[in-house]
Amino acid sequence: MKPSQHTRKILFWLGLSLPMLALIGMTWLVHQTGGEFNRSFNWVMQNYKIMDLFEQTQSHIVDAEANQRGYLLTGRAEYLEPYQLAILAVRENIADLKNLTRSDATQQARIAVLEKMVAEELVFDPATALTPGQTPANAPVVAVTERGKHKVESLRKILFQARAEQQEALTKHQQAAASDVVSGQLMSLVLIVAVAVALGLVVVILLRLEKLQQFVTICAWTGQVKHHGEWIRLDEFLKQQYGISVSHSLSKEAADKMLREIEGLKRGETHPPPP
């Protein structure tokens, strides 16, 4: 069954509009994918930077506690400079972590606890660290060492929880990114199929146009059309070739001619009047 004229019009406009819509969709998809890739890349890099800062903070805390303990046990000033450098590095690390995690309330709370513990446990004044009359040799070595271990373990626990939280966020982000990639691939596949369908419609339209451009042989006497070696009526040709249904009527000229012939017959004319 050949498609109707209305159906062909629909196919024609679909063939023209689908490629344009698919092009717009692909442009939008590329734009979205590019923007999402940049955001994802920046977020992942920031996430790794945060985890690296947690590692650095832990290392500097260990250095600060070791030099603090060395000074408390020996009273030697050579421990103070590396201690002060380590404390300065810890403070800078905490400031950077606050800035990088300002949108994460949970991390901000953990960093605040860490900052408070550093201020209470690691920051000390060398001038008042030892009680009057106490010498480094008399300092309780075991007590100071055990307290130092407790400090480090407490601070490490907070840092471990913070880093684990950041790692979990990274894992979730990677899973979401993988899901977005699958969605993008499916959307690309749909657009490719749409383009293929549109191209098929365009090919059909071009074939139709090619048929319309072919020469048609019409009998100058009977008005019949030569189609595949046979002479058929014009309405049959249009129906077979293009699926066009033809209705019959009379033109004004033909109707006037018929009326003149009828009137001539009534008057007894043997020859029809001139047209």
Number of structural domains the chain divides into: 1
Full domain range(s) for residue 39: 5-208
Exposure string (b/e) for 216-242, b if CB count within 10 Å is 16 or more?
eeeeeeeebbebeeeebebeebeeebe
pLDDT: which is higher, 3 or 35: 35
Q: According to the model, what pLDDT value does residue 209 have?
A: 61
Please report whether residue 262 resides in a domain: no
C-alpha distances out from residue 53 to 82, 96, 265, 275, Å: 19, 8, 114, 104
Please report whether residue 268 resides in a domain: no
Query: Domain with 155 in it: what CATH number?
Result: 1.20.120
What whole-number distance in Å separates Cα of residue 84 and Cα of residue 62? 13
Please report whether residue 57 resides in a domain: yes
Please report whether residue 151 resides in a domain: yes
Please report whether residue 263 resides in a domain: no
Model confidence pTM above 0.85 = no
Contact 110, 86 (CB under 8 A): no
pLDDT per residue over 160-193, tens digit each?
A: 888 888 888 878 777 776 777 677 677 777 767 7
pLDDT per residue over 36-64, tens digit each?
A: 667 777 777 888 898 899 899 989 999 99
Please report whether residue 167 resides in a domain: yes
Please report whether residue 264 resides in a domain: no
Contact 122, 90 (CB under 8 A): yes
Q: How many residues does the chain have?
A: 275
Return the number of other C-beta atoms located less than 10 Å from residue 157's C-beta.
Answer: 11
Contact 186, 193 (CB under 8 A): no
Please report whether residue 229 resides in a domain: no
Number of H helices, E strands in the chain: 6, 3
